[in-house]
Amino acid sequence: MSTAIRDDYLEKLIESWKKEASPVHSVSYLDQLREDALDRIESLRLPTIRDEEWRFTDISSLRSMPFPRASAAPLPGLDKQAGTFLDETACRLVFVDGQYMSGLSSLADDGSITVCSLSELIGTRASIAERYFGQLADFQENVFVALNTALMHDGVCIVIPAGVSVKVPVHILYVTSRKDVAVYPRCLLIAEPGANVTVVEEYVTLYEGASLTNAVTEMYIRDSACVNHIRVQRESSQAFHIANGSVLVAQSAHYDSVSLALGARISRFDQKIILAGGNAECEVDGLALIAGRQLADTHTFIDHANPHCRSRQLHKCIVDESAHGVFSGKIMVRPHAQQTDARQLNRNLLLSDKARMDTKPQLEIFADDVKCAHGATVGQLDNESLFYLRSRGLTEVAARNLLTYAFGGEVINRVIVPSLKQRLEEYILARTRIG
Amino acid sequence: MSAVLQHLVNQPYKHGFVTDIEADIAPKGLNEDIIRLISSKKNEPEWLLAFRLEAYRKWLDMVEPAWQNVKYPKIDFQDISYYSAPKPKKKLASMDEVDPELLRTFEKLGVPMHERAALAGVAVDVIFDSVSVATTYKEKLAEVGIIFCSISEAVQKYPELIRQYLGTVVPPGDNYYAALNSAVFTDGSFCFIPKGVKCPMDLSTYFRINTEESGQFERTLIIAEEGASVSYLEGCTAPRFDTNQLHAAVVELVALDDADIKYSTVQNWYAGDENGVGGIYNFVTKRGLAKGRNSRISWTQVETGSAITWKYPSCILRGENSVGEFYSVAVTNHHQQADTGTKMIHIGANTRSTIVSKGISAGQSNSSYRGLVRIAPTARNARNYSQCDSMLIGSQCGAHTFPYIQVQNDSAQVEHEASTSKIGEDQLFYFAQRGIGAEEAVSMIINGFCKEVFQQLPLEFAVEATKLLSFKLEGSVG
């Protein structure tokens, strides 16, 4: 810990954290992990556009904002804000400024799921922590995962016991309540064999202003379990949102995900899905709806590590005004992953002449008996469709909005929580209702 | 994968490694003195020496690129001799002296008789056909004002044309290997089609009489003036041997208003043995500038040889309504590696581009498609369609696709699609049912897969390429 940290932005972050952190006496698995991550940060630096994975996403403006880690503050009246909680479920986990708030959270009475904070996890079920925590979110090469691991507030661990089907969605709400702070939420989900659950992850800010969210989520979907994951990012248009999600899908397990990037000045979501057992399946969909000077960057990596796995992906971007959409999706088929069936489609809609889209769908295939296909399109609304609608009496603006709405609707339709789906539909309508 | 198929694809390279050049060789290593030596040996004007030196200085500041998906041991650039004046090869007195193995290859590929002799190194003057063909061609071209000669000859005879165009499409500091080439290039072709002339025949490097050996650092420059059109063929289907391991060529095309350049390549250089030892590194920079309105540049390539193929024939579509095309078949077997594709840079309005790329990997080889489609803010109504398909034969090879699509104009339409397939047992069974053996079936499936690209090749080339592909992947059934 004595050598100098090379990157001055990282140095500032670490210094301000050290001032705040209380000295650690007991060395638990978690503390050790923090130490290792801190050590690792010394040899890492903030990525620039010279790094291939960050070529189109310039985060240099983050350098001038070395936000200190937010300290948790109670947040009264959150439940009274409309459109924050979901109608369907009382089962919710609320993070305020990166800190898990058990007081604001509520869990299903039937005890079908176990939720505990990471410090509790270390105290009572250290074996789970050691077996799962930090195993998927590798911080060796990823500075943001390293920062999260080193600076995370106390995270939360959710365990769905074997064979349990959770009836209501689990709503995980990440709230940033102030500006000029950085939050590091952390979540670990384990679906034991045969479990079935729907998880809604939602990121919101309660003000207009700059802040940084650096979130890490790890999910283990064990044999024959099924997880439906909906991720909604609607932070303020000044916010920086950087998230890493890693999912391990075991044998015959199923992972469905829909991620929506609506807010943030710069958002970056790295999603890594490992199909680690035979017959594992995943459906990975996404929609970025951006305007103004927003930048939404989605990187997905689907790793077919075993035979007979299936993956489907549909990612769409609707880019208006001077916004900039980025998509990079890699499908890897490892040697011996025979009978792989992978399909990826990326469709992008540019709505203004200043809008910009960079897309990079990639296939890396090392096995021969596979079905793999990918496609990407960038274009604008179809003139024939516009003409059709106008011939039916719609104004040009109405026709455009309707078509834009329909373009995004394909992804929204895959959201299986009705109230959330309705809210998202209204959001898109509001965004497209211009002029 | 059936044993038959394995056998089919693992047939050894049929020829030894034979080269016999005596040359006046410069000492190994690269420095400004060597570049001055090259320039003075070739009796070049001062500006060209300055061009070379500028490139060399830029090269010194550059680092070898490492982003490509190929692996090779580090090249020692000081261990290469950058100038060797080739002495004419020993002429063979007649076709009887030619290696019978080579003749059989020609037979299989269906290379015309007069070309076989030239390719095998038989002295041209003993082959009646060849002389007449070459002479007639030269006369015909001169009649319409087409200049077609080696680049060294062009530097002496048409310095103003070379000076005007050399390095305008691929600047000396463009990339590591282009800079190296600009500093030390010694050979290559120059072709100039004057205004309004439609070249009456396909131009091919092996009719350029004074070519005995192609250089390690080739430089090709083709210029089509307003309304001109030309179809240029590079390489040939016959296997080519060379002792130089590194090949870093640069090809520049310039198409002015309404001009049309079609550039076809068939590359079958030595690929190394089945354990991946030896073989050519083919690191090429090819770029066409569609400068004028309604101009068109079309690249067609069939890449079957070389241990490593690493090239991206590109089009800069600057003129309004200009068109860029790229058709490619890349076949890799054993330990071959190919990282190839194209760049389509749309700058002008209403520019259109088409990319069709077919990759076939067998053995332990890896082939990658890497492409860039960039629509600049000025390219109103630009249109691109890309398709890249890969076929894998065997479970140890790899196929990769890395397309980059960058769009900064909302009126553009860009489409990309890619798929992967294999030769299935059921397909072979279907053929067998109809009395077609595995070997022929594989060849038919592969040729069907590559049909869209072969259709773009000039006719006799297409026939040869079809055979070449089956030849490359065939073996004896049993």
Q: Whole-angstrom Cα distance, residue B407 to residue B168?
A: 25
Token pair 């089509």 in the structure block, residue: B224
Token output for B251:
């090809």
Q: Flag whether residue B399 sits within 8 Å of chain A, measured between CB atoms.
A: yes
Check residue B441 and give its pLDDT.
87
Phi-psi region of B216 (alpha: psi -120 to 50; beta: other; left: phi over 0): alpha
Count CB-CB contacts under 10 A for residue B417.
17
Number of domains in chain B: 1
Count CB-CB contacts under 10 A for residue B3.
8
In the stretch 59-78 of chain B, residues with CB closer than 8 A to chain A read 67
Asked whether the beta carbons of B354 and B325 are under 8 A apart, the reply is yes
Here the ipTM equals 0.81
Interface contact A374-B418, CB threshold 8 A: yes
A chain contacts of residue B401, beta-carbon cutoff 8 Å: 361-364, 374
Asked whether the beta carbons of B323 and B351 are under 8 A apart, the reply is yes
Residue B39 lies in a domain: yes
Q: Whole-angstrom Cα distance, residue B372 to residue B163?
A: 30
**Cα B4 to chain centroid, rounded:** 32
Interface contact B406-A370, CB threshold 8 A: no
- Sign of the dihedral through C-alpha A103, A107, A109, A111: negative
* Best to test chain B binding among A50, A297, A347, A378 (most B CBs inside 10 Å): A378
Distance from CA of A243 to the nearest CA of B (A): 23
From the list B408, B409, B414, the residue facing A377 with the nearest CB is B414
Token output for A345:
């489609």
> How many beta-carbon pairs under 8 angstroms link A with B?
116
Interface contact B407-A365, CB threshold 8 A: no
Token output for A56:
């189109």
* Best to test chain B binding among A328, A368, A371, A377 (most B CBs inside 10 Å): A368
**Of the candidates A294, A269, A232, the residue with the CA atom closest to the CA atom of residue A145:** A269
Distance from CA of B425 to the nearest CA of A (A): 10
Q: Flag whether residue B416 sits within 8 Å of chain A, measured between CB atoms.
A: yes
Distance from CA of A236 to the nearest CA of B (A): 25
Task: Round the CA-based radius of gyration of chain A to a whole number and report it.
Answer: 21
Distance from CA of B197 to the nearest CA of A (A): 38
Check residue B100 and give its pLDDT.
65
- What is the DSSP track for B84-120? EEEPPPPPBSSGGGS-HHHHHHHHHHT--HHHHHHHH
Check residue B111 and give its pLDDT.
61
Secondary structure class of B37 (helix, strand, coil) = helix
In the stretch 94-113 of chain B, residues with CB closer than 8 A to chain A read none
HSE-up (13 A, CA, CB side) for residue B176: 13
**Of the candidates A55, A63, A65, A68, the residue with the CA atom closest to the CA atom of residue A16:** A68
**Of the candidates A379, A289, A392, A302, the residue with the CA atom closest to the CA atom of residue A342:** A302
Interface contact B412-A350, CB threshold 8 A: yes
Q: Give the residue on A whose Cα is nearest the Cα of B363.
A: A368
Interface contact B410-A365, CB threshold 8 A: no
Of A277, A298, A320, the residue at which a domain comes to its end is A277
Distance from CA of A232 to the nearest CA of B (A): 26
Residue B478 lies in a domain: no
Secondary structure class of A311 (helix, strand, coil) = strand
Token output for A67:
């936000």
Q: Give the residue on A whose Cα is nearest the Cα of B385.
A: A377
Q: Flag whether residue A196 sits within 8 Å of chain B, measured between CB atoms.
A: no
B chain contacts of residue A359, beta-carbon cutoff 8 Å: 404-406
Check residue B3 and give its pLDDT.
61
Interface contact B410-A350, CB threshold 8 A: yes
- Sign of the dihedral through C-alpha B38, B39, B42, B48: positive
From the list A353, A376, A380, the residue facing B403 with the nearest CB is A376
Interface contact A335-B396, CB threshold 8 A: yes
**Digitized pLDDT (tens) for each residue of chain B, 478 residues in all:** 456 555 655 555 443 344 443 446 677 788 888 889 888 888 889 999 999 999 999 999 998 888 888 888 888 888 777 776 655 445 555 666 666 666 666 666 666 655 655 555 443 333 333 344 455 677 778 889 998 888 888 899 999 999 999 999 999 888 999 999 999 888 788 999 999 999 888 887 654 433 334 457 889 999 999 999 999 888 755 555 555 678 888 999 999 999 999 999 888 777 777 777 777 888 899 999 999 999 999 999 998 888 888 899 999 999 999 999 999 999 888 888 999 999 999 999 999 999 999 999 888 888 999 999 999 999 999 999 999 999 888 888 889 999 999 999 989 999 998 888 888 788 889 999 999 988 888 888 888 888 888 888 877 777 777 777 777 765 423 2
**Of the candidates B31, B318, B42, B37, the residue with the CA atom closest to the CA atom of residue B169:** B318
- A178, A32: one domain: yes
B chain contacts of residue A353, beta-carbon cutoff 8 Å: 377, 409-411
Check residue B116 and give its pLDDT.
59
Q: Give the residue on A whose Cα is nearest the Cα of B416.
A: A376
Interface contact B411-A380, CB threshold 8 A: yes
Q: Whole-angstrom Cα distance, residue A315 to residue A271?
A: 13
Asked whether the beta carbons of A93 and A173 are under 8 A apart, the reply is yes
Residue B377 lies in a domain: yes
Residue A284 lies in a domain: no
A chain contacts of residue B415, beta-carbon cutoff 8 Å: 375-377, 379
Question: Exposure of A378 by Cβ count < 10 A (0-12 exposed, 13-18 middle, 19+ buried)?
Answer: buried
Interface contact B405-A357, CB threshold 8 A: yes
Beta strands in B347-476 (DSSP E): 352-362, 366-375, 383-393, 398-407, 413-422
Q: End-to-end alpha-carbon separation of chain B, Å?
A: 15
Q: Flag whether residue B317 sits within 8 Å of chain A, measured between CB atoms.
A: no
Count CB-CB contacts under 10 A for residue A65.
13
Q: Flag whether residue A376 sits within 8 Å of chain B, measured between CB atoms.
A: yes
Secondary structure class of B13 (helix, strand, coil) = coil
Interface contact B412-A367, CB threshold 8 A: no
Of A277, A307, A341, the residue at which a domain comes to its end is A277
Of A237, A253, A277, the residue at which a domain comes to its end is A277
B chain contacts of residue A331, beta-carbon cutoff 8 Å: none
Residue B237 lies in a domain: yes
Check residue A7 and give its pLDDT.
80
- A13, A148: one domain: yes
Q: Flag whether residue B243 sits within 8 Å of chain A, measured between CB atoms.
A: no
Non-local CB neighbours of A348 within 8 Å, separated by 6+ positions: A316, A317, A318, A319, A325, A327, A357, A359, A376, A377, A378, A379, B407
**Digitized pLDDT (tens) for each residue of chain A, 435 residues in all:** 444 556 888 888 888 877 776 655 556 788 888 889 988 998 898 999 988 899 999 999 988 888 888 876 666 666 666 567 787 777 888 888 888 888 888 876 677 788 888 878 878 888 888 889 989 999 999 999 999 999 888 788 999 999 999 988 999 999 998 888 999 999 999 999 999 999 999 999 988 889 999 999 999 999 999 999 999 999 999 999 999 999 999 999 999 999 999 999 999 999 999 999 999 999 999 999 999 999 999 999 999 999 999 999 999 999 999 999 999 999 999 988 999 999 999 999 999 989 999 999 999 998 888 889 999 999 998 899 999 999 999 999 999 999 999 999 999 999 999 999 999 998 888 887 654
Residue A435 domain boundaries: 382-435
From the list A351, A358, A368, the residue facing B394 with the nearest CB is A368
Number of domains in chain A: 2
- Sign of the dihedral through C-alpha B200, B201, B202, B207: negative
Q: Whole-angstrom Cα distance, residue A126 to residue A396?
A: 61
Per-residue DSSP letter, B174: S
B chain contacts of residue A360, beta-carbon cutoff 8 Å: 402-405
Residue B55 domain boundaries: 3-473
Degrees, nearest 5: CA angle A385-A386-A390: 115
